[in-house]
Structure 1
Amino acid sequence: MAKNDPYAALRIKEFNVFLLLRFLLVFGWSMQFIVIEWEVYSLTKDPLSLGLIGLMEIIPAFTMALFAGHIVDQNEKRNLLAKCIAAFSFISLGLFLLTSKRVVADWSTSNILLGIYALVFFGGFLRSFFGPTIFSLVALIVPKKVYPNAATWSTSTWKAAAVLGALFGGFSIHWMGVAKTLCLVFILVMLSLVITFRIKKKPILNPKIGESVKESLKVGVRFVFSNKAILGALTLDMIAVLFGGTVALLSVFAQDILNVGSKGFGILNASISLGSILSMFLTTYLPISKNTGMKLLSSIFVFGLCIIGFGLSSIFWVSVVALFLSGAADGISMVIRQTILQLKTPDEMRGRVSSVNSMFVGSSNELGAFESGVAAKLLGPITAVVFGGVMTLVTVVTIGIKNPILRNLDLTKDIEEHENED
C-alpha cells in the first residue's frame, strides 16, 4: 500500500459498507433537523423556541454520555449500532405523525410542540450512544495504519450527507411539505438499519469486561484530562462551537433578515456543509500531520472571522460565501480533531473517550443552539451572531497562548509508527 495513499481506507470493502450506512443515516438525520427547525419556528415565530430544541437534546445527551461510553466499551459494536438505529426509527416515525395534518387535526399548537420536544429529548438520549459506537466501530473495521485516512473519509462522508440532507431538506419543504419529508426520513433510517447487518460482528477488545461503572468512568475521564493534546483540542472546539454556532438561527435570517424563504434556507444550510466536505476531501491529498496544533488553531480562527462576516451581511450571496468558508474551516478542524482522537486513544477506551468528546463538542452544538436562541431574543439575531464570532476569536487566541502542548502538536511520528504496524 502506498505510503500516502489517499484512498487507503476505501480499499477495505467493509469500510465502504460502513460509509454507505453512515451516509444514509446522517442524510436523513440532517433533513430531519432542518425540517423540525423550520416547522417549530413557523409555528411559534420565536427564536427562543429554536434554542429550546437544542436544550431538549443536550440534557439527555450530556447526562448520559459517560454511561453510554461505558456501555459501548463493554458490548459488541455492530449490534449496538443496529439497536440505536432501530430506536431512532421510532423518533422519525413520531415526528412524521406529529406533522401530519390528518393525525394532529384536533391538536393545539402547544401540544404539537410538546410532542416534538419530547421526541427530540429521546433523540438526545440515543445520540449519547451513536457517537461512541460509530467511533469505536471504525477502529475495528480498518487497521491502525489507516486510521488517519479512515477518519478523513468517515468525517467527509458525514459532511457530504449533511450538505445533501440540508439542501434536500430545505427544498423538500417547498416541494412536498413537512410531513412527506419526514416520512422520507423514516424510510432512509429503515434502509440504514438493513445495511447495518452487512457489517460483521466485531470482537470486544476491552480486557476489563464486567468492570464497575464507577471505576470505568473514572478511568475514562482521567485519561482524557491527563492527555493535554486531546483535552486542548476538545476544549477549543467546545467553546468555539458554543459561541460560534449559527445554524440554530439560520431560519431567522432566511425568513426575517435575508428574506429568501425555504429555498434560501436550504442553500444557507447546505453552504456550510459544502465548504466542510470540500475541505475534508482536500485533506486526503494534503495530510494534516505536520504542525497539527497550529493548523487546528488557525482553522478555528478563520471560522470565527467568517461567522462575524455572516452576521454583518445583509446580502444573500455574501452570506452564502461567508457560511461556505466557515464550513471549510470547520471541516479542517473536524478532521484534525478526529485524527488526534483516533491516534491517541487506546482500543479498549474508545467508547469512553468518544463519550467525553460528545460532552465537550457534540453537546456544545445543542447548548450553542440554546445560547444563540437566548442571545437572539435578548440582543437580536445579528448582534448575537457577531458576538459569537468574536468570542470564538478570543477563545482561539487564549488557548493558543495557554496550551503550548496543543500549539506545538505534530502527529508525524504517531502516523509513521502506525504505518509500521500490522
Structure 2
Amino acid sequence: MLTQKPSGWTLFRNPDFRLFGAARFLTGIAFQMEAVAVGWFVYDLTKSALALGLVGLASFAPAILGALVTGHVADTYDRRRIAAAAYALLALASGGLTALALVPGSPVWPVYALMIAVGSARAFANPATQALLPTLVPREQFGTAIAWNSSLWQSAAVSGPAVGGLLYALGPAVVFASAGVCFAVAALCVAAIRPGPAAAPRGPVTWSTLLAGLTYIRSQPVVLGAITLDLVAVLLGGATALLPIFAQEVLHVGPLGLGLLRSMPAAGGVAMAVVLAHRPLERRAGPRLLAAVAVFGFATIGFGLSTSLPLSMACLFVTGAADMVSVYVRQSLVQGETPDAMRGRVAAVNTVFIGASNELGEFESGLLAALIGAAPAVVAGGVATVLVAGLWGRLFPALRARDRLIAG
C-alpha cells in the first residue's frame, strides 16, 4: 500500500486498487450489457411492458428486503470473499440466462428467477465492495480513490449499453455469455486482493446489530444530511425516464438522438471524475455538495426548457458532472466518518437509499409527466431540487459548515 500521497494515475501503483478497479469496471460493463440484453430478450418473449417492469422489480427487491442482513454480513465476514462469491453467483446467473437464450420458446418465468438471483448477489456485493475500498488506500486518499472508482463505473455506463447492443446482433446468448465471463474475471480479481483487517468478532445477531447502520446514520448529522440530500434530489430531479418522450416529441431526433441523450450524464460524470481524481476537493466539502445539487437542479431546468439537441445534451452533461461532485463528496463523507466496523451496514443503507431514489424517481417523473406533461414535469423537478439544496443547508447546519472532506 502506498505511503506517499498519490496524484492522479499514481494511485494505480497500488496493486490492490488496480485489482479492485478492474473488478469494478468489468462488473459495470457486465451489468450494462446484461440490462440491455435482458430487456430485449424479455420483450421478445412477452411483448409486454409489465414484464419489463417485473424484471426491474425482481432485481431491486432483494436489496430492499435484505439490506439489514447484507450490511451485517459485510461487517462480520471477509469482504473480499463476500464480493468474490457474489460475482461468482452473478457469473452463474449469466450462464443460466445464456442457456435460456439458446433454447427456442423458453418461458419467461426462469428469467425472473435468475434476476432475483442477480439482485440478491448485488445486494451482498454492494455493501461489501463499498466497505472494502477504504481499507485498500490510506485515509487521506479516499477522495482520489472514490473519484477513480466512480470514473471506472461511469465509463462502463457509457460503453456498456453500446457493447451490449452490438453483441445482441449476434444473439442474446452472446451478450449473456460475455457478461458471465466479465463477472467471473471480476470474482478472480477481488479474490486476489490481499487480506485486510480482520472482520469484527461475530457475536449474536440481534435487532440492535442489524439496525446499527440506521442508528448510526441518524446520529451523524453530516452523514444523514448527505445521504438524504442525494435521495431527495434524485427523487425529484431525475429526467432519465422521460428521455424517450423528449427525443421523440420535443427534439424530434429518433433512436440515435436518444442514445446520445442517454450517454450525456455518464459522459459528464466521467469527465468530472477524472478532474477530481487529479485535483481532489479537500476544503469546503459541505458547501460544494450543496452547490453541486443546486447546479444539478438548474441544469435539469435548462434541459426541460430546451428544444435544441446540442443544448439538451449540454444540460445533461452538466447534470452528470454535478452529480459526480455530489457522489464524490457524499461517498467520501460517508466512508470517512463511518468506523470500519460499521461500514458494511451503513453502505447497505446507502445502497437502498440510492436505489430507491432512482427507482421511485423514475416513477415520480412518469406520474408527474402524465399529469402536467414531460417538459413541465422536468422543469418542476429541477426547481424543487434547487429549493431542496437551499433547504438542506438550513436543516443540516453541520453539513453546510463542513470544511474538510476527511476530518481529522
Give the alignment's TM-score, normalised by structure 1. 0.85
**Counterpart Cα distance in 2 of 1:260 and 1:213:** 55
Closer, same or farther in 2 for the Cα pair 1:272/1:53, shift >3 Å?
farther
Give the structure 2 partner of residue 398 of structure 1.
391
Alignment-derived partner of residue 400 in structure 2: 407
Name the residue aligned to 2:21.
Answer: 19
Give the conservation status (yes or no) of the 8 Å contact 1:73–1:204. Answer: no
**Residue 339 in structure 1 maps to residue 348 in structure 2:** no
> Aligned equivalents of 2:38 and 2:212: distance in 1?
38
Work out the CA distance in 2 between the residues paired with 1:325 and 1:57. Answer: 29
Question: Looking at both structures, which has the greater relative contact order when contacts are Cα pairs under 8 Å and sequence separation is at least 6?
Answer: 1
Q: State the match for 1:202 in structure 2.
A: 196
Partner of 1:28: 30
Tell me what 2:205 maps to. Answer: 212
State the AA in 1 paired with 2:103: V
Alpha-carbon separation, structure 1, partners of 2:314 and 2:90: 34
CA contact (8 A) 1:273 1:327 kept: yes
The corresponding residue for 1:239 is 232
CA displacement at 1:266 relative to structure 2:
3.3
Q: Secondary structure at the match of 1:343?
A: helix
Report the residue type matching 1:289 in the other structure: E
What is the identity, as a one-letter code, of the residue corresponding to 2:163? F
Amino acid at match of 2:388: T
Deviation readout 1:147-168 (Å, 9 max, x if unpaired): 2222222222222222222343
Mapped contact 2:143–2:281 kept (Cα < 8 A): no
Q: How does 1:262-301 map to 2 (within 5 A)?
A: 262-301=255-294
Task: Give me the whole-angstrom Cα distance separating, in 1, the residues matched to 2:38 and 2:91.
Answer: 16
Larger CA deviation: 247-256 vs 231-240: 247-256
1:157 matched to 2:152: yes
Deviations 1:197-243 (A, max 9, x none): 3223334332x422424221233222111100000000000111122
Q: Assess if the C-alpha contact under 8 Å between 1:55 and 1:366 holds in 2.
A: no
Among all aligned residue pairs of Structure 1 and Structure 2, give the percentage whose two residues are the same amino acid. Answer: 36
Q: Tell me if structure 2 keeps the 8 A contact 1:51–1:372.
A: no
Contact 2:131-2:343 within 8 A present in 1 as well: yes
Aligned to 1:126: 121
Structure-to-structure mapping, 1:129-140, within 5 angstroms: 129-140=124-135
Distance 1:154 1:117, change over 3 A: same
Partners of 1:120 and 1:320 lie apart in 2 by 32
Alignment check: 8 A CA contact 1:148 1:342 kept: no
Q: What residue ranges of structure 1 are gaps of 5+ in the alignment?
A: 418-422
Structure 1 pair 262–202 and aligned structure 2 pair: CA distance change class (3 A): farther
How far 1:410 moved relative to its partner?
1.2
State whether residues 131 and 335 of structure 2, in contact with CA within 8 Å, keep that contact through their aligned partners in structure 1: no
Contact 1:51–1:373 under 8 Å retained in 2: no
Structure-1 separation of matches of 2:370 and 2:195: 48
- Paired with 2:23 and 2:264, the residues of 1 have a C-alpha distance of 23
Give SS of 2:361's match. Answer: helix
Contact 1:8 1:149 in 2 (8 A): no
Q: How much is the aligned-residue C-alpha RMSD, in angstroms?
A: 2.9
Instruction: Give, as a single letter, the amino acid of the residue that structure 2 aligns with 1:71.
Output: V
Equivalent pair of 1:312/1:382 in contact (CA under 8 Å):
yes
State the AA in 1 paired with 2:20: F
**CA–CA separation in structure 2 for the residues paired with 1:274 and 1:340:** 24
Once the two structures are TM-superposed, the CA of residue 399 in structure 1 deviates from its matched residue by 1.0
**Structure 1 residue 326: deviation in Å?**
0.8
Q: Distance in 2 between matches of 1:145 and 1:134?
A: 19
1:53–1:370 contact (8 Å) kept in structure 2: no
The structure 2 residue matched to 1:143, chosen from 138, 142, 157, is 138
Partner Cα separation in structure 2 for residue 182 and residue 260 of structure 1: 30
What is the deviation of 1:14? 1.5
Partner in structure 1 of residue 182 of structure 2: 188
CA–CA separation in structure 1 for the residues paired with 2:40 and 2:374: 16
| Number of aligned residues | 405
Aligned to 1:385: 378
User: In 2, are the aligned partners of 1:27 and 1:162 still within 8 Å (CA)?
Assistant: yes
TM-score (normalised: structure 2): 0.88
1:315 CA drift (Å): 3.4
| Cα deviation, residue 171, structure 1 | 5.2
SS of residue matched to 2:66: helix
1:320 to partner: Cα distance? 2.0
Q: Judging changes above 3 Å, is the alpha-carbon distance between structure 1 residues 171 and 62 closer, same or farther for their aligned structure 2 residues?
A: same
- Any idea what the Cα deviations from partners look like across 1:324-364, whole Å, max 9, x if unmatched? 11111111111111111121011111101111111222332
Equivalent residue letter for 1:134: T
Deviation (angstroms), 1:276:
0.3
User: Which residue pairs with 1:420 in the alignment?
Assistant: none
Aligned-partner SS, 1:288: coil
Distance 2:54 2:311 in 1: 29
Contact 1:308 1:389 (C-alpha < 8 Å) held by counterparts: yes
Deviation at 1:4, TM superposition (A): 6.6
Please say which of residues 324-333 and 148-157 is displaced more in the overlay: 148-157
Letter in 1 for 2:155: A
SS where residue 140 of structure 2 aligns?
helix
The answer to whether residue 223 in structure 2 is matched with residue 230 in structure 1 is yes
Residues 265, 320 of structure 2: 8 Å contact kept: yes
Letter in 2 for 1:275: G
Question: 1:264, CA displacement in angstroms?
Answer: 3.6
